[in-house]
Amino acid sequence: MAYKFNERGKSPIKNNISFLLFAVTASLLFAAIGLQAQTPTPTPTPTPEPRNETITWFGGYNVTSSVEVGVRGVSVGGNDNKYRSDFNYRPGVRLFDSSFLLENKDKKSRAIDSLLVTTSGWNADPSGFTRISVERAGFYRFDSNVRQVVYFNNLNNHTRNGHNADTRHNFGDFDLSLYPNNDNFRLRFGGGFNSTKGSGTITTRAYSDEYPVDSRVNNGTTDLRAGIDGKLLGFNLSLSYGYRRFKDNTFYSTLGNLGYNTTNTARIATFERQYPIKGTTQYGLFNIQRTFAKKLDFTGRVIYSSTDRQFEFLETITGRDNSNNQVDLDRFNIRGDSKRPQTRADLGITYAVTNNFRISNSFTYDSFNISGGNAFAEALYTRTAAGGSRNPVFTNNLSHRVTDFERFMNTIEADFQVKDWLGFNIGYRYAKRKIVIQGFNQPLPPATNLTRTLIEEEEDNQTNTIIAGMKLKPLKNWVIFADVESGDADNAFTRLANYKFTNLRLRSRWSFNQFAFNISAITKDNENPSTSTAPAGNYPSGDFIANTKSRIFSAYIDWTPISKFSFSGGYTYQHLTAETDIVINTGTLVRGFSRFYMRDHNAFFNFSAQPFKRVSIFAGYNYNNDRGQGDRISPAPAILVTSYPFRLFTAETRIAMKLTRNIEWNVGYQYIGYNERIQPLSVGGPQDYHANLPYTSLRFYFGGGER
């Protein structure tokens, strides 16, 4: 399909086209409904039900199928890279939703009782999938799901446009169950794949400058798994085994690169990096469950896994360094491996004291060990700026690390249903972990000091959390949920203190006749404290704390006055402020603050209707406006005030018409408008864009009776 534009690439359709389309569509819709309402309803006469006719193939199989094929046009005015990074809908032929169902209706013994194939989104969408399910009742069931994601990322306000990607991610799973409906004995087999290929860019730092580097992405995994389920002495048992092989052969290179600082002498003439990684993971999983006397439920799980990884880092650079020396060769050769065995055990017990009172306890033990090391070798061959000789520099060393992690966590909770209209729960979570890090660094010749540096750290940590919730039903058609969680959480970084958090959630749902109202509020307060241990005088010392406060308020309404008309709309406001202590260089290292603001407003509405028997209409609109920091400015050089204010609105309208019993015609239009208000022109220009996406398709039905 050729979609015409004017000479400057601008769409001839103005930004308010969506409102005009909605106005026209809504007028036609309500006019049709009004005509139906004003026309006297005749006395209904009995009409025969349409026969559920099917196509019978292959000696007794019934076929029900639909295929939708169409074409989309795309016109983008503004920054095409930003549009593709956000949505990436492409022009051309597109396979819309389709399905194929084969059923054994006469119950005769056959190899296949049912076969279902569904597909969506292939070719012109950023993602697509194909699912296949095959079954013979009581004997086997086979399920497969193959997906593709076309990923594009090219932003001129992120790392100076230095981290980009244009890849295709293909992944899928295949699972076979033998005797799937047999609770006493069931076998499971499966496999999967995951592959990403394409191009991109990264940045590398050398000679006091930073350089964008091209990459050829190539990584993937292969999975195999098997399992058995059954019953023994009243216990439900399950045992599984899995194997994964993974690799990454991404290649990086650049030529004639001046770096981001073009005024210095540092530059790269040639650069190549290979970072091959390969390894395997094996795991075993055992589950056990039983309910005693309908009072006590027992559930247990044990997982053991082991991952082995080998890697190399091969890099060569030629060019000039920041002292204007000629770099004939700067070569890095790093080889290493690691091993990570892990054991996790979960035990859960729930006891129904009465019909209205229940106590549950869950215990988790998690332990892993990471051991590995590498051999580092660098050879640097340089000459002076005038070409004079310089001595080569060789650096060699060994390093090894062992990390032991162990954590115990226990959660106890009580649920009490006081009345039909009131129930609540209260609980407590306790966790304790211990981390030990040991290792060494060993310089090798030609270094003269060959002293081995030993490393040993140990850290203990405990957390406590209170959990509570409530369900209140003041009226038959009105229900309120509330829950709170407050306490400490493990910090991912061992040298930092625990997170201190308080999360509160409130939700209310009220329904009346054809209306349903939902109101919710979520508040999250998170404090991440840390302390500087740098020597006094070299670095500002004291407590460094990151505080994040988030407030989210939402309201939604659904209205379905008749079966052929529905409307939904809503509004969400997110108020987020994050502040963290930082060290900033204003000529000297001083203590400062970084503050980030989000003030995001999001509103939407959707409606669908069937004004006539063979005509269906849909329209939707979504508006997103983050006002960011507003008029706030930095009061001092050591205080950074940042945000990301933008506006994004999308609109879609679609009409579906039944041309014949087996053919349906769809025609629709999407509009996307994006505007950001912080993009400096010096970085690479604004990233604003607007896109018009008209589309049309035909859906063909086979079998299954009239629709």
Q: Residue 278 class from Cβ within 10 Å (0-12 exposed, 13-18 middle, 19+ buried)?
A: middle
Q: Which two tokens stand for residue 318?
A: 């030629």
The predicted pLDDT at position 31 comes to 36
Q: Which pTM value belongs to this model?
A: 0.85
Give the pLDDT score at 164: 96
CB atoms within 10 A of CB 55: 12
Give the other-Cβ count within 10 Å of 246's Cβ. 17
The pLDDT score that the predictor gives to residue 490 is: 78
Confidence of residue 35 (pLDDT cuts 50, 70, 90): very low
Say which residues have a Cβ less than 8 Å from residue 169's Cβ, sequence separation at least 6.
148, 149, 150, 151, 194, 195, 196
What per-residue confidence (pLDDT) applies to 496? 64
Decide if pLDDT at 60 tops 90.
no
The pLDDT of 530-549, averaged and rounded, is 73
Is the pLDDT score of 2 beyond 60?
no
Residue-level pLDDT at 683: 55
Per residue in 579-600, pLDDT (tens digit) is 998 888 877 888 888 999 999 9
User: Looking at residue 533, what is its pLDDT?
Assistant: 62
pLDDT tens track for 78-87: 999 999 999 9
pLDDT in tens, 468-501: 999 999 999 999 999 999 998 877 666 666 788 9
- Per residue in 158-190, pLDDT tens? 888 999 999 999 999 999 999 999 989 999 999
* Mean of the per-residue pLDDT values of the chain: 88
CB of 304 within 8 A of CB of 283?
yes
Provide the pLDDT for residue 241.
98
How far is residue 654's CA from residue 651's CA, in Å, rounded to a whole number? 10
pLDDT of 506 reads 96
**Which pLDDT band holds residue 24 (cuts at 50, 70, 90)?**
very low
pLDDT single digits (tens) 559-572: 999 999 999 999 99
Does residue 195 or residue 43 have the better pLDDT?
A: 195
Contact partners, residue 478, CB within 8 Å, separation at least 6:
508, 509, 510, 511
Which pLDDT score, from 0 to 100, does residue 438 have?
96
Residue 40, pLDDT > 50, answer no
75 vs 3, residue with greater confidence: 75
The answer to which of 45-54, 119-128, 225-234, 310-319 has the lowest mean pLDDT is: 45-54
Strand partners, 687: none
Average pLDDT over residues 394-423: 95
Q: Residue 458, class by beta-carbon neighbours within 10 Å (0-12 exposed, 13-18 middle, 19+ buried)?
A: exposed
What's residue 532's pLDDT?
64
Reported as a single tens digit per residue, the pLDDT across 278-335 is 999 999 999 999 999 889 999 999 999 999 999 999 999 999 999 999 999 999 999 9
- Please state whether the peptide bond connecting residue 637 to the residue before it is cis, i.e. omega within 30 degrees of 0: no
pLDDT of residue 500: 87
Strand partners, 571: 555, 603
User: Amino acid letter at 183?
Assistant: D
Q: Are 345 and 302 in contact (CB under 8 A)?
A: yes
Question: What pLDDT was estimated at residue 546?
Answer: 87
The pLDDT of residue 702: 85
Q: Is the pLDDT of residue 90 over 90?
A: yes
Place of tokens 């999407």: 670
Looking at residue 543, its pLDDT comes to: 76
Residue-wise pLDDT tens digits, 420-457: 899 999 999 999 999 999 999 999 999 999 999 999 99
Q: What pairs with residue 212 in β-bridges?
A: 203
Dihedrals phi, psi of 26, to nearest 5 degrees: -65, -40
- What residues have CB less than 8 Å from 584, skipping those under 6 apart? 590, 591, 592, 637, 638, 640
